[in-house]
């Protein structure tokens, strides 16, 4: 299972973390990946100046917004999520 953790610490919260989570939830449902991608909230990933931060397994991505979440999903999660069992 692919683990995706979205930071909901103070800075990320103010920069729209919950909108990113909501969009990721929608995309995971749309592509029927609930059994392959685990979406979690977490606290500070240490990238507070970089915008909403997301950790996929052990790799951190920064600068997510509601507007670019779909692109992030397609680029970094969809193929890997579909390949998981």
pTM given for the model: 0.92
- The answer to whether position 83 is within a domain reads no
DSSP assignment of 19-49 equals: HHHHHHHHHHHHTT-TTTEEEEEES--S-GG
Examine residue 76 and state whether it is found in any structural domain, yes or no.
no
Backbone angles phi, psi at 74, to 5 degrees: -65, -35
The total number of structural domains that make up the chain: 1
Q: Tell whether 30 is covered by a domain.
A: yes
Q: How confident is the model over 5-60, as pLDDT tens digits?
A: 999 999 999 999 999 999 999 999 999 999 999 999 999 999 989 989 999 999 99
Q: Say what the alpha-carbon torsion angle 62, 75, 65, 42 is, to the nearest 10 degrees.
A: -50
So what's the pLDDT on residue 79? 81
CATH number at residue 62: 3.40.30.10
Query: 29: domain range?
Result: 2-67
Q: Which residues pair with 39 in a beta bridge?
A: 4
For residue 64, what are its two tokens?
A: 């997510």
β-strands 37-42, 52-56 pairing: unpaired
43 domain residue, yes or no: yes
Q: Is residue 25 part of a domain?
A: yes
In a domain, 29, yes or no: yes
Cα–Cα–Cα angle for 48, 53, 56, nearest 5°? 145
């Amino acid at each position: 299972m692919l683990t995706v953790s979205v930071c909901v610490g103070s800075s990320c919260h103010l920069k729209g973390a919950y909108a990113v989570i909501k969009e990721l939830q929608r995309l995971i449902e749309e592509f029927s990946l609930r059994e392959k991608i685990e979406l979690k909230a977490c606290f500070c990933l240490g990238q507070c100046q970089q915008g909403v931060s997301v950790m996929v397994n052990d790799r951190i991505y920064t600068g997510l917004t509601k507007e670019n979440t779909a692109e992030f999903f397609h680029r970094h999660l969809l193929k890997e999520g579909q390949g998981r069992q």
